[in-house]
Structure 1
Amino acid sequence: MKEMCRPARLSAGDTIGIIAPASCGEYEKIVEAARFFEQKGLRIRYGEAIAKRHGYLAGTDRERIDDLQRMFADPEVKAIFCARGGYGTGRIAAELDYELIAQNPKIFWGYSDITFLHVALQQKAGLVTFHGPMLTSDIAVEQPDPLTLQTFEQLFAPQPLCYDESISPLQTLVEGEAEGTIIGGNLCLLVSTLGTEFEIDTKGKLLLIEEVDEEPYRIDRMLNQLKMAGKFADAAGILLCDFSNCGPMKRQESLTLEQVFADHVVPAGKPTLLGFRIGHCSPNLAVPFGVKARLSTTNKSLTIEEAGVL
C-alpha cells in the first residue's frame, strides 16, 4: 500500500460534489439532504449522472466513472459525497485513473457498496477516505440522529475521535490491545475484493466489518471465506460493527450471529470488540480509513488519534 495522503479540511464557502457511483437514488431526496451541507455554508455541485438510471445503476459504468473522475479533477471541488450505495462500484474500480486521483487528493465519503471504492482508493491512490453516512439513507430521513449529523464535523476541524460505551454497549469477544491503520467496510463488498487486484490487505491493521439484510448462514459463509483467506489471522484487531436486520428469515433453525463470530473470528485470537454503531444503523458514526487507531478491550474503546483531514 502507498503512503497514505490525508485530504484538506472543509471550510465554509467550499464546493462539494455529490455523485452516485453505485445505484440510483431519488433525486428529490438527494436535493433535500444536500440542504444539510448548504446550511454549513458549502456549495453543491451534482454529478451529471446523479439522476440517471441504467437498470439498478445510476447511469452506465462510463457515466459513473466520468462523474467520479470529473469531481477529483475539478480544483473547485474540495470533497466528494456519495448519495447512496446499492450496487455498482466494483464494476468501475478497474477503470479508474488512480494517478489522477492521487494527484488531486480530496475528501471521499460513503459506505455500504462504496466499500469497494474505499479499498481501491486506499490501495491504488494512497488516499485516506471516510466511511460515513450518506444522503438518501441517513440524512433525508424523518428525524436524522444528532450523532449522525455531528459526525460530519470531523471534516471541518482535525480532531481525535474516541468511540466508547458512552455511545453504545461494546462486547469483548477477544481480550487485548491493538494498534494499526483502520480499514474495512461492508462484509459482502470486502469478500468481493478477494482474488482481484483490489484484494483487501489486513496485515497489521484494524479490520472494521458491518453488514445489513444478510441471514446468519450468509454471514457465516462470508466470514468463513475471509478466515480461509487469512484476513483475520493477518489483522491486528477486529471491530464488529452494526449487523442490521441480520437475523434468520428463510430458516427457522439457525446459528446466532454470536455463534458465527465465535466460529470464524474469535479463533484468530485478535483483540475484538462487537457493537459499534457504524454502518446501516442510526446513529451511523463516521470513521476515517487509512489512519492509525488503537483498539482496547480493557477500556472498551476505539481511539483514532490521527485526524482524517489536514
Structure 2
Amino acid sequence: MALIIPKKIRKGDSVGFISPSAGVGGLAPHRVENAKKTLESLGYKVKIGKNAMKNSGYISSFVEDRIDDIHSMFLDPEIKMIMCIIGGNNSNHLIKHLDYGLIRKNPKIFIGYSDITVLHFALHTQANLATYYGPCAMTQFGEFPKILDYTLDYFNRELSAENHQKKYEIQASELWTSELLDWFKKTDLTRARKLEKNTGYEWLKKGTAKGKIAGGAILSINHLAGTKYWINPKGKVYFLDILKADELNEGAVDALLTDLDNMDFFNEITGLVVGRPADYTSEETQRLKELIIKYSGKKKYPILFNTNIGHTDPIITIRYGRDVVLDSRKNLFAFV
C-alpha cells in the first residue's frame, strides 16, 4: 500500500504545536513564543495544544493528555501541520494508545526530530502516513534572533506549497553550530549562537545507492526493535542521528550500534547517511567513524558522514519514504 503523503502547507494555514515527550515548553516559554512569531511572519497561523506547555518532570503530561493533543490536532480541520515543540525520551509511552484509523482518515504534515523518531515509525507503519524528520518549534523555529536560513530553506523545499521542489540536491551547509546557550536563564536571548565553518561531506565508504529513506535518532530507533512499529531496513537508505548526552556516552552509542548489527541491520540497508554527531570531540568523532566502518563490514554500499541531520544546526527536512540517491563520485546526496 502506497504511503499517504499529506498536502503541502500554504500561507494562511494553521500549524499546531504539541509536546508528545519532554515538557520543556513551559520552562522556556520565550522559545515557543519565538517559534510562533517566526511561523506567523512566514504567513502561517499557530495553535498551541492545550497540554503542550505542561511539565510533569521528564514528560510534559499524562499519556492521556499527550494523546488527546495529538488526536485533537489531527481532527482539527484548520490544522495543516503538526509540529512538535521538542523531543525528549518518552514518546514510546504513546504508540500503543494512538488511534491510527483516525490519523489515517485525517492525514496532515507531522514534523519533529530526536525522540519524535518513535512517532514517525509508528505513524509510518500503523497509519501509513508519510511524516517528516525535521525542525521542532523550540529548537529551530525558536532560534534567536531567527531561524537559520539553511534550515528554513530545506523546510520550505520539502513542505511549502509555494516553494516545494520535487527533486533537489542536498548541499552541505557552509556553517554549523552545536553551541548551547541556557534557555532557562534566557542567555539565548543575549546573542546569536556562534557558527563555525563546515568541512563538508565525508564519505566513509564510496559507491552509489538509491532507495527509500528512513531512519532517525539511534536511541529511539532501538526502542522499537522487534516491535510491529519497526521500519524494515531491507533495501532502504537509512539515516542515523547520533548524539552524546547524559548516560548516552561513547560506550552506550557503541552498544546501540551493536544492537543494530545483531539485528543484521548493516547487511540489509543499501546505503547509510550519518548526521554530524552532537557534542563529540574530534577524537570521539574519529572513533565513531571507525565503529561505523567496522559494523558495515565488507558491504559495498556508500556511507555518507557529517550531514545536516539531527542535533547540530542547521538541519534538513526529510520525508520518510522519499527516494534518495547517494553517489560518492559526484559528492551527491539528493532527493529524486
**Shared fold (TM-score, shorter chain, > 0.5):** yes
> Across the two proteins, how many residue pairs are aligned to each other?
301
Per the normalisation by structure 2, the TM-score is 0.84
Q: CA deviation at 1:255?
A: 7.6
For the residue of structure 1 that corresponds to 2:231, the secondary structure is coil
1:39 and 1:256 map into 2 onto residues whose CA distance is 43
Deviation, structure 1 residue 230: 1.4
1:194 and 2:225 aligned? yes
Which letter maps to 2:142?
A
Deviations 1:198-222 (A, max 9, x none): 1231111110001222432222111
Question: Quick check: 2:207–2:300 contact (8 Å CA) kept in 1?
Answer: no
Cα distance change of structure 1 residues 33 and 273 upon mapping to structure 2, 3 Å threshold: same
The CA distance in 2 between the partners of 1:232 and 1:164, in whole Å, is: 25
Q: Which residue of 2 aligns with 1:308?
A: none
For the aligned residue pairs, the C-alpha RMSD in angstroms reads: 2.0
Does the Cα contact within 8 Å between 1:109 and 1:130 map onto a contact in 2?
yes
Structure 1 position 268, deviation (Å):
3.5
Map residues 1-310 of structure 1 onto 2, 5 A cutoff. 2-25=1-24, 26-143=28-145, 144-154=147-157, 155-157=159-161, 158-159=164-165, 160-165=167-172, 169-213=200-244, 214-247=248-281, 256-305=287-336
* 8 Å contact from structure 1 (residues 84, 135) kept in 2: yes
CA contact (8 A) 1:216 1:260 kept: no
> What is the letter of the counterpart of residue 51 of structure 2?
A
Distance 2:65 2:29 in 1: 17
Give secondary structure in 2 for the equivalent of 1:188. Answer: helix
In 2, the alpha carbon distance for the partners of 1:146 and 1:255 equals: 29
3-state DSSP class of the match of 1:58? coil
In the alignment, the residues of structure 2 paired with residue 27 and residue 122 of structure 1 have an alpha-carbon distance, to the nearest angstrom, of: 31
How far apart, CA to CA, are the structure 1 residues paired with 2:76 and 2:326?
Answer: 37
The answer to which of 102-111 and 214-223 deviates more is: 214-223
> Does the 8 Å CA contact 2:243/2:280 hold for their aligned counterparts?
yes
Deviations 1:154-204 (A, max 9, x none): 211330231145655111122211111111010111111112221231111
Aligned mates of 2:85, 2:74 — CA distance in 1: 16
Segments of structure 1 that go 5 or more residues without pairing to the other structure are: 306-310
Residue identity over aligned pairs, in percent, reads 29
SS across alignment from 2:254: helix
Distance, in Å, in 1 between the alignment partners of 2:284 and 2:47 is 49
Closer, same or farther: CA 284–102 of 1 in aligned 2, 3 Å: same
Aligned residues of 1:216 and 1:254 also touching (Cα < 8 A): no
Deviates more, 1:207-216 or 1:109-118: 207-216
What is the letter of the counterpart of residue 213 of structure 2?
I
Q: Aligned letter for 2:169?
A: C
Equivalent residues of 2:235, 2:268 under 8 A apart: yes
Letter in structure 2 aligned against 1:222: L
Aligned match of 2:185:
none
CA drift of 1:110 comes to: 0.4
Distance 1:162 1:24, change over 3 A: same
Q: CA deviation at 1:264?
A: 1.2
Greater mean alpha carbon deviation, residues 116-125 or residues 132-141? 132-141
CA change 1:12–1:255 in 2 (3 A) is closer
The answer (yes or no) to whether the contact 2:277–2:285 under 8 Å persists in 1 is no
Contact 1:216-1:247 within 8 A present in 2 as well? no
